[in-house]
Amino acid sequence: MPEPGRLVLLRHGQSTTNAEGRFTGWCDVALTPRGADEAVRAARLLARAALVPDTVHTSVMRRSIRTADLALAELDRLWVPVRRSWRLNERQYGALTGCRKHEVRAREGAERYRWLRRSLHSRPAPLAAAELARLRADPRYAALRPGGVPATESLADMTARVAPYWADVLAPQVRRGATVLVVAHGNSLRALATVLDRLTDDEVRGLDIPTGAPLRYDFDRALRPCVRGGTYLDPVAARAGAAAVAAEGHS
């Protein structure tokens, strides 16, 4: 049996709604120029660490897809197989989608705001019926069972949808020795980290994933992380980015 491969988690580069301080959720938005630069910089970090991917996985949202495309182009690996799945989509923020974070914090209060963003079990109010119907008619989600597009999600809900993707798709590739790159979203990567590291509720609340910062996981033969929480390829920049994510909505 070959030695296990490596898993690299990469949150997409800054999006237009990230820059505006809004809850994005399943709203399909573009990268900013800074976000595109972050994707290229992430690719250079991967090359420097000899982590050129054998296979890539993205959500079905353009900010994830575009980040992966830019990174693969920088690595001269546009031919690498890419698989896209709604299971890697961002959290469905329901009625919070599109809202400015500082306005939600002012309205709900600091503790409720923190709970809505970071707790394992809190769900925002559901998406409006018309918006939910539009999403359910989107051809990207045609394969989901009727009503399968969620109206709102907690991180626990997300963990339940991400866990099968790890078990059935990602883990077998890592077990075969591949270097696997997952380009997704802050909360889908938090959910995946929850599965990999078996995070407690308190640990989940304290986890912030910065944009454009590759996070490396190595595994033992039982596919347990060698380093709990993984290792950022640029830990200084990642700490600064995570602190900025934690501070969103506070000004």
**17, part of any domain:** yes
Determine the pLDDT at residue 119: 87
Indicate the number of domains in the chain.
1
DSSP state of 168: I
What are the tens digits of pLDDT across the range 33-59? 999 999 999 999 999 999 999 999 999
Polymer length in residues for the chain: 251
Name which residue leads in pLDDT, 1 or 183: 183
What are the tens digits of pLDDT across the range 172-223? 999 999 999 999 999 999 999 999 999 998 999 899 999 999 999 999 999 9
| 68: pLDDT strictly greater than 80 | yes
CA 233, chain centre distance (Å):
17
Determine the pLDDT at residue 251: 74
Q: Which two tokens stand for residue 207?
A: 């986890």
Cα(213)–Cα(235) distance, integer angstroms: 9
Predicted TM-score (pTM) of this structure: 0.96
Determine the pLDDT at residue 70: 98
Q: Give the 3-state secondary structure of residue 155.
A: helix
CATH of the domain at 198: 3.40.50.1240
**100, part of any domain:** no
> Cα-atom radius of gyration of the chain, to the nearest Å?
17
Alpha-carbon separation of residue 137 from 6, 133, 149, 238 (angstroms): 37, 6, 10, 37
| 147: pLDDT strictly greater than 80 | no
**99, part of any domain:** no
Active site residue 57: no
Q: What average pLDDT does range 78-100 have in this prediction?
A: 97
**136, part of any domain:** no
| 75: pLDDT strictly greater than 80 | yes
How would you classify the pairing of strands 55-58 and 215-218?
unpaired
Determine the pLDDT at residue 148: 85
Catalytic-labelled residue, pool 12, 38, 153, 185: 12
**140, part of any domain:** no
Determine the pLDDT at residue 145: 75
| CA-CA-CA-CA dihedral for 165, 170, 172, 178, to nearest 10 | 170
**88, part of any domain:** yes
**179, part of any domain:** yes
Beta strand spans in the chain (E): 6-11, 55-58, 82-84, 179-184, 215-218, 231-232
Catalytic-labelled residue, pool 38, 90, 153, 185: 90
Active site residue 108: no
The mean predicted confidence, pLDDT, of the chain is 95
Cα(213)–Cα(13) distance, integer angstroms: 9
User: Could you give the percent of the chain with pLDDT greater than 70?
Assistant: 100
Confirm if 31 and 63 have CB atoms less than 8 A apart: yes
Determine the pLDDT at residue 146: 74
| 123: pLDDT strictly greater than 80 | yes
What are the tens digits of pLDDT across the range 223-233? 999 999 999 99
| 144: pLDDT strictly greater than 90 | no
Strand partners, 15: 31
**25, part of any domain:** yes
Confidence band for 238, pLDDT divided at 50, 70 and 90: very high
What are the tens digits of pLDDT across the range 13-32? 999 999 999 999 999 999 99
Cα(150)–Cα(135) distance, integer angstroms: 9
Domain holding 42, by residue range, is 6-92+154-246
